Amino acid sequence: MVELVAAKLALYTAMREQEIARIVLAERLGLSESAIGKLLNPDHRSPISPAMKALRAVGRSLVVEDRAAQTQPPVRRS
């Protein structure tokens, strides 16, 4: 779910930066404007694949990375 919200936020940001209207993206993807609205809504549980396709349509991609956590030294108690 975190990846989906990140994809939606990235899509929204790219659309704002490039001044792409919802209707324009809808035409690029062959979707309705209301479908784009759902795709941008972080509360709507969309499959991630349409969000990834939409990101590619605006020249972006989402990268999810796994890293080792930095460990904290144990706390010494006296």
Whether 20 is in a domain gets the answer: yes
The mean pLDDT of 71-78, rounded to a whole number, is 76
Q: Do 14 and 55 form a contact (C-beta atoms < 8 A)?
A: yes
- Answer left, alpha or beta for residue 34, where phi above 0 means left and psi between -120 and 50 means alpha: alpha
Q: Which domain holds residue 53?
A: 2-57
Q: What is the pLDDT of residues 26-39, one digit of tens each?
A: 999 999 999 999 99
pLDDT at residue number 69: 83
Whether 16 is in a domain gets the answer: yes
Number of domains in the chain: 1
Whether 7 is in a domain gets the answer: yes
Angle at 64 between CA 17 and CA 9, to 5 degrees: 30
Whether 69 is in a domain gets the answer: no
Q: What is the pLDDT of residues 21-73, one digit of tens each?
A: 999 999 999 999 999 999 999 999 888 999 999 999 999 999 888 888 888 77
More confident residue, 39 or 74: 39
Neighbours of 32 (CB within 10 A): 12
Whether 63 is in a domain gets the answer: no
Nearest to 20 by CA among 36, 5, 32: 36
pLDDT at residue number 39: 94
Whether 62 is in a domain gets the answer: no
Task: Give the whole-angstrom CA distance, residue 20 versus residue 31.
Answer: 15
